[in-house]
Chain A
């Protein structure tokens, strides 16, 4: 679905006269293929995760390397055209919301990518229902609680019904109920056959929802593989300053021989033992 080859990116522009030799790269030589598996991108603050997905989305342009989204070369198209295939929920909701009401905000994307009004309305209402925002249609998005703002951002991207959906830290500021909503949405999208990619700092959440994990560290791809495989590589996780999920830490300290990612895993292992 998405293919990235030898991607380099820096926020520092090249000098017009001579290239800047000690330029700092936010991303260095990233190559990977994104498939249908729900994928989590993890890594420390400043590792380059947001930068990476903004490039996939066409909002930033790579200095070097090639990115194709559903066969289309990102450098040859515009973010607007990519919007039909790939939706991005911004990390900071205040950067994403700009309409005056919840309804307008959610309708904005679907209408722009050419969904008919009827279909758009249906899609929007469904997304807002899932997020439990349908009683706030006329509220100004900026008057919502931060957690609701984030859910609205997710709903308005979901309503666009793109094949690829990227969420940048969806659980930010969510309480337990909000987290469960996000979890439900991710599972729902996966069941609809969409490819979901999520940047996230919450390892327990990762363990529960994602099959594949990509670890970024200081602008480089450190690890890429199945959830169990990545979380069992203690050394690399340490290098990336990440902690394994709680269930796995528990399993290890209890001396269970298996890589357990969730509480259910731990319980199953204990029963078997």
Chain B
């Protein structure tokens, strides 16, 4: 079945890291540059996240996402360079429009933080199977119901796409034209919606029953089909990430106090 997940199957160190540790990394990667309002720190954090993507052999897949963000980044940079309130030092001018140093530095900072944050999330998304993440969360004590809801979100869209294919075939088989010009396609698509939604609801009901007859609701401890991603130094890394975040906050708090 098609899947909504962006998981890319590769063999890499990052793929072997367990999902929860990746969540800790995201936490650190967001906190550190935000509290240490320093340009160099932002650049270093962004670079680290990008390098980790490269180590995970998914940099190329990440580029597509960054390409979509590119326009937003350019816009932010321009707005900052032209209209930041702290703007004072003109670096250069193009046909009477002044570009200011303060704004440009701030723009780069924001872009670096965005890059860092997006890259950190992509590390999780591109190198982790959604099911591994959800199972790990349940192992860590999250409710299986919430886990199921999260998994359903990953499944419902591909499922609907599948249902559309099935019903399209049923309609084509009995003389509905589905190929050709845009109006023909739209005319063929609209009558699909009713049956597709109905079909999904029916499936939801049956799935709920299927879960119940197999003791989804049972209160005992569950076991799992997939083994937990066993990452050897998980604890060490998690502590490291928390320490980084905490020391960033401490450093900043100290700086403010001094």
Contact = CB atoms under 8 A, between A and B. Distances in A.
Contacts of A112: 174-176
Contact of A109 (B174, B179, B199, B202): B174
Contacts of A113: 174-175
Interface stretch (B87-95, B164-172, B250-258): B164-172
Interface residues on B, range: 10 to 19
A78 B173 contact: no
B38 interface: no
Tell which of A79, A95, A98 has the most Cβ of chain B within 10 Å: A98
B175 A109 contact: yes
Interface residues of A, number: 25
Given A98-B195, A142-B202, A79 B172 contact: yes
B170 A80 contact: no
B166 A156 contact: no
A120 B187 CA distance: 22
Contacts of B180: 78
A97 B171 CA distance: 9
Interface string B153-188: 000000000000011011111111111100000000
Contacts of A59: 169, 172-173
Nearest to B184: A80
Contact of B172 (A78, A97, A98, A142): A78
A108 interface: yes
Interface stretch (A5-13, A26-34, A83-91, A220-228): A83-91
A81 B171 CA distance: 12
Interface string B197-209: 0010010000000
A98 B197 CA distance: 11
A79 B202 contact: no
A98 B188 CA distance: 14
A98 B171 contact: yes
A84 B173 CA distance: 10
B203 to A, nearest CB: 10
Contacts of B175: 80, 83-84, 109, 112-113, 160
A108 B195 CA distance: 14
Nearest to A60: B169
Interface in A99-133: 99, 108-109, 112-113
A212 to B, nearest CB: 24
A79 B175 CA distance: 7
11 contacts: A58-B172, A79-B173, A80-B172, A80-B177, A83-B173, A83-B175, A87-B174, A108-B171, A108-B174, A112-B174, A157-B174
- Nearest 4 Cβ contacts at the A-B interface: A112-B175, A109-B174, A83-B175, A98-B195
